[in-house]
């Protein structure tokens, strides 16, 4: 494989958490190819973040044509061909992105991905559970790219003045996928956690999207002193809050990836619906806690599992809380 391709395509279409996890890979690719013209093929929700990252010269939006939309496929093929790419890093690793490889005429570019027939095919070890970031590190190594570090989200900045933030606060992210309610810790447990944080002189900020407004409003109504910021935090604001917060606790949902990567000591709660070994957020201080059913996860278990750096920051010198337990609960179901 040529060591210095001048035109490179990176493919990463979705989803939110996976896209954030791939930021470290984007940055490793750019560092390895500092002079190349690098294009990202992604979907509309991630355009602004990709453009702000500074890792790409161009960002293309994939409209993901259905199989029967011939015009869409022909337009996509024409665009890929005219891009004249010498190398492709397929970080989506899906049937769809593999079909893009098959769209290209011969001679095909050097393709680092999982699709059969590509020049540098990545085959994940059979029977081994690997985190997405580990898979990408192994995949990128086939192209000579050094192992990525933690994602650097310093490019995401925001003015939080309009939020009128307290001096000391914690972030609670009680939402998640509407079609996967099993990934949510019960709202009443978040309310109990919010009361505990207030007792430690940390103001709980409740974060979420419009679809989670009713749930967040119920928590805020149950806990005087909790702040409802539902629908008021952009991606940039999430990162800025993550840099300033004492800790964050949330479900397995996209915003926790931003918050953790921004540097906030974070605890992410998992059920049987997802596996932290495969997709936990990456950051300097991240803990995970898993139960078969999140309804069975107690407040006491959550408090005991807070990241070590967060445990210290939640207590002021005048607090007289008992020392943390000597043994942390297992992350196994």
Contacts of 98 (CB under 8 A, 6+ apart): 90, 113, 114, 115
Which residues of the chain fall short of a pLDDT of 70?
1-3, 311-333
Predicted pLDDT at 176: 86
Q: How far is CA 249 from the centre of its chain?
A: 15
Domain 7-141 has CATH 3.40.140.80: no
Assess contact for 221 and 265: CB atoms under 8 A: no
Contacts of 274 (CB under 8 A, 6+ apart): 183, 252
- In this structure, what token pair is assigned to residue 99? 């079909």
Instruction: Please name the residues in contact with 307: beta carbons below 8 A apart, sequence gap of 6 or more.
Output: 247, 265, 266, 267, 285, 286, 287
- This prediction's pTM: 0.90
The sign of the dihedral angle between the CA atoms of 255, 261, 267, 271 is positive
Residues 199, 226: Cα–Cα separation, whole Å = 12
Q: Are 22 and 53 in contact (CB under 8 A)?
A: no
CATH of segment(s) 161-313: 3.40.50.2000
pLDDT of residue 179: 81
Torsion (CA) 164, 242, 285, 203 in degrees, nearest 10:
20
Q: Are 72 and 63 in contact (CB under 8 A)?
A: yes
CA distance from start to end of the chain: 44
> pLDDT value at position 180?
87
Q: Where in the chain is the domain with CATH 3.40.50.2000?
A: 7-141, 161-313
User: Please, how many CA atoms are within 13 Å of residue 77, restricted to the half-sphere of its CB?
Assistant: 13
CA distance 273 to 176: 12
Rounded-to-integer distance, Cα 198 and Cα 226, Å? 8
- Predicted confidence at residue 304, as pLDDT, reads 96
The whole-angstrom separation of Cα 43 and Cα 190 is 33
**pLDDT at position 4:** 82
Give the model's pLDDT for residue 142: 98
């Amino acid at each position: 494989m040529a060591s210095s391709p001048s035109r490179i395509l990176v493919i990463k279409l979705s989803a939110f958490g996976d896209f954030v996890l791939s930021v470290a890979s984007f940055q490793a690719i750019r560092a390895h190819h500092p002079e190349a013209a690098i294009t990202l093929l992604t979907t509309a929700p991630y355009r602004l973040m990709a453009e702000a990252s500074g890792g790409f010269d161009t960002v293309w939006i994939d409209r993901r044509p259905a199989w029967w939309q011939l015009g869409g496929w022909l337009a996509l093929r024409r665009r890929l061909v005219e891009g004249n790419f010498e190398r492709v890093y397929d970080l989506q690793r899906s049937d769809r992105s593999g079909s893009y490889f098959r769209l290209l005429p011969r001679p095909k570019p050097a393709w680092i991905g999982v699709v059969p027939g590509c020049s540098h095919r990545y085959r994940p070890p059979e029977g081994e559970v690997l985190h997405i970031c580990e898979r990408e590190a192994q995949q990128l190594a086939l192209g000579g790219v050094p192992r990525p570090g933690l994602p650097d989200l310093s490019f995401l900045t925001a003015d939080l003045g309009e939020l009128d933030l307290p001096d000391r606060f914690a972030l609670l992210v009680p939402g998640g996928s509407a079609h996967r309610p099993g990934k949510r810790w019960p709202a009443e447990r978040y309310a109990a956690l919010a009361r505990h944080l207030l007792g430690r002189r940390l103001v709980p900020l409740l974060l979420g999207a419009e679809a989670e407004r009713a749930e967040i409003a119920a928590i805020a109504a149950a806990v005087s002193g909790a702040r409802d910021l539902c629908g008021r935090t952009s991606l940039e604001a999430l990162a800025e809050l993550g840099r300033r917060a004492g800790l964050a606790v949330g479900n397995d949902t996209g915003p926790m990836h931003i918050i953790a990567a921004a540097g906030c000591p974070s605890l992410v709660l998992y059920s049987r619906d997802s596996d932290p070994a495969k997709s936990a957020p990456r950051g300097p201080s991240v803990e995970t806690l898993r139960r078969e059913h999140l309804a069975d996860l107690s407040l006491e278990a959550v408090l005991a599992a807070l990241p070590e750096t967060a445990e210290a920051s939640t207590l002021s010198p005048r607090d007289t809380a008992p020392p943390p337990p000597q043994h942390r609960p297992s992350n196994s179901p």
